[in-house]
């Protein structure tokens, strides 16, 4: 059955954990959907793992639409959530609505995600009022890396923990159907999960959240530029890929690939005629 926003709410009510992973293309989305994972996030982390930027700041609406379209075609029953990139919603409620609409109409996403608490609640309310489900994102919000002065755990002091709790209530009241908690102390994330009614999806926020999300290149061991503490590498796909490329390289260079079975035949008489026609006459 197709996963929807209401499935997220029922999962929280029945204490069933929600699984989510990022994907950025059709073939990975198909693999995710065939695995039984509930939801795919087309994260603006594509700036790091696909486009090779140091952060997510340079990711554009065009990037997000392009990848969201591809993911949506392979996502099967997964709920596809597309990230709203930096400055596509902070500038005004109007911009937020236009851009959320584009991610749904052109990107074929089933929901959008945006970063921030109280300050973006007018945007969350307007987008949800327009019939577009919104997931919020609190804690370490990577689009604010320059304001934070680096990728740091959030909510460690009483004051900042209270701010996080207030923000969680605020995004819920504005209409968000869920909230990502990134790099938040585990006990605080569990406390927020108990306090609010909408599901919390943790990344670096412990096991007390209603669900978990990871960047697929991180969990598959395909991206080693920086591996955060919270990442578990469930496989070393990077090594498998590298070794396969090495074998291919060797076989191409020593002539063992391709073999006869990898080629296509042609009638022998045609080749004989061609050889006679093009025989050198010197
Ligand atoms: O962009 C992304 O992949 C994200 C997750 C880290 C939650 O926002």
Cα 120 from Cα 135, distance rounded (Å): 12
- According to DSSP, the β-strands at 18-22 and 39-42 are parallel
Please tell me the distance between residue 46's alpha carbon and the centre of ligand 1 in angstroms. 9
- Mean pLDDT across the stretch 85-89? 98
In this structure, the residue with its CA closest to atom 1 of ligand 1 is 43
Q: Is 105 helix (H, G, I), strand (E, B) or coil?
A: helix
In this structure, the residue with its CA closest to atom 5 of ligand 1 is 43
Instruction: Convert the pLDDT of each residue in 216-267 to its tens digit.
Output: 999 999 998 889 999 999 999 999 999 999 999 999 999 999 999 999 999 9
In this structure, the residue with its CA closest to atom 3 of ligand 1 is 43
Q: Is 24 helix (H, G, I), strand (E, B) or coil?
A: coil
How many residues belong to the chain?
A: 282
**How far does the chain reach from its first CA to its final CA, in angstroms?**
72
Q: Cβ of 210: how many Cβ atoms within 10 Å?
A: 23
Q: Is residue 21 a contact partner of residue 41, using CB atoms and an 8 Å limit?
A: yes
Q: What are the structural domain ranges in the chain?
A: 5-235, 241-281
| Mean pLDDT computed over every residue of the chain | 97
pLDDT category, 2, cuts 50, 70, 90?
Answer: confident
Please tell me the distance between residue 45's alpha carbon and the centre of ligand 1 in angstroms. 6
Which position among 182, 187, 239, 260 bears the catalytic label?
Answer: 182
Cα 39 from Cα 171, distance rounded (Å): 20
Query: Percent of the chain, pLDDT > 70?
Result: 99
Q: Which atom of ligand 1 is nearest to the CA of 142?
A: 8
- Mean pLDDT across the stretch 191-212? 98
Q: Which atom of ligand 1 is nearest to the CA of 56?
A: 1
Q: What is the pTM assigned to this prediction?
A: 0.96
Instruction: Convert the pLDDT of each residue in 3-49 to its tens digit.
Output: 899 999 999 999 999 999 999 999 999 999 999 999 999 999 999 99
- Mean pLDDT across the stretch 160-164? 98
190 among known catalytic residues: no
Task: Name the CATH code of domain 5-235 (choices 3.20.20.60, 3.50.50.60, 3.40.50.1220, 3.40.50.150).
Answer: 3.20.20.60
Query: Percent of the chain, pLDDT > 90?
Result: 97
> Is residue 282 scored above 80 in pLDDT?
no
Where does ligand 1 bind, in terms of residues with CB under 6 Å?
22, 41, 43-45, 83, 137, 180, 182, 203, 213, 215
Q: Which atom of ligand 1 is nearest to the CA of 45?
A: 1
Instruction: Convert the pLDDT of each residue in 255-265 to its tens digit.
Output: 999 999 999 99
Cα 261 from Cα 178, distance rounded (Å): 52
Q: Is 191 exposed, middle or buried (0-12, 13-18, 19+ CB in 10 A)?
A: middle
């Amino acid at each position: 059955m197709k996963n929807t926003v209401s499935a997220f709410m029922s999962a929280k009510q029945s204490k069933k954990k929600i699984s989510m992973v990022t994907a950025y293309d059709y073939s990975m989305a198909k693999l995710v959907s065939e695995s039984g994972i509930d939801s795919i996030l087309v994260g603006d982390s594509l700036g790091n793992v696909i486009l090779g930027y140091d952060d997510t700041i340079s990711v554009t609406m065009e990037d997000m639409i392009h990848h969201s379209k591809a993911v949506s075609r392979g996502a099967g029953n997964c709920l596809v959530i597309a990230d709203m990139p930096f400055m596509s919603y902070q500038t005004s409620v109007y911009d937020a609505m236009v851009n959320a609409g584009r991610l749904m109409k052109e990107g074929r996403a089933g929901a959008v995600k945006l970063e921030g608490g109280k300050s973006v609640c007018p945007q969350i309310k307007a987008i949800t009022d327009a019939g577009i489900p919104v997931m919020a994102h609190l804690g370490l919000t990577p689009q604010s890396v320059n304001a934070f002065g680096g990728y740091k755990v959030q909510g460690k002091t009483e004051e900042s923990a209270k701010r996080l709790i207030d923000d969680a209530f605020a995004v819920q009241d504005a209409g968000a159907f869920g909230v990502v908690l990134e790099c938040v102390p585990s006990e605080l994330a569990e406390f927020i999960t108990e306090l609010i009614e909408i599901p919390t999806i943790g990344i670096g926020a412990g096991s007390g959240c209603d669900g978990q999300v990871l960047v697929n290149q991180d969990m598959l061991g395909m991206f080693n530029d920086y591996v955060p503490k919270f990442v578990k590498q469930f496989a070393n796909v990077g090594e498998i890929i590298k070794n396969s490329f090495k074998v291919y390289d060797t076989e191409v260079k020593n002539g063992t690939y391709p073999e006869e079975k990898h080629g296509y035949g042609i009638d022998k008489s045609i080749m004989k005629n061609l050889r006679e026609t093009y025989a050198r006459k010197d």
